[in-house]
Amino acid sequence: MGTKKANEPGLYDMSGNVWEWCEDDWHGNYNGAPTDGSAWVDSPRGAYRVNRSGSWGSASPACRAAIRSYFTAGLHNTYLGFRLAL
């Protein structure tokens, strides 16, 4: 852990391993997003969730912390994972 160069926000070992599931529902832009850092969760929940960072199967431009995409909430495959954070 911490053997590679830190990414843009200064975090280690984050980019390029797997797309990481996020709590946020997918929105095409940030209009109306929370400004306090909380997850953007719709009520009722949307069908798609945000994924970030790209994976080992992505082209290099997709392997950065700021990249985001979406998948259906129930999808699972070798390109998807999650990170526990406190």
- Count structural domains, the chain: 1
Is the CB of residue 25 less than 8 Å from the CB of residue 41? Answer: yes
Report the distance separating Cα 38 and Cα 49, nearest Å. Answer: 15
Is 77 part of a structural domain of the chain? no
In this prediction the pTM is 0.73
- 48 - beta bridge partners? 72
33 or 5, which is more confident = 33
Residue at 65 is within a domain? yes
Q: What is the pLDDT at residue 84?
A: 66
Residue 67 near residue 55 (C-beta atoms within 8 A)? no
Question: Is residue 34 in a domain?
Answer: yes
Q: 82 lies in a domain?
A: no
CA distance 5 to 81: 21
Distance CA 19, CA 82 (A): 8
14-72 pLDDT, tens digit per residue, is: 666 788 888 999 999 999 999 998 999 999 999 999 998 888 888 888 877 788 899 99
**What token pair was written down for 79?**
């390109």
Whether 77 shows a pLDDT value over 90: the answer reads: no
pLDDT at 15: 61
pLDDT of 70 reads: 92
CB contact at 8 A, 81 and 21? yes
Say how far apart CA 84 and CA 11 lie, in whole Å: 14
Res 1: pLDDT: 61
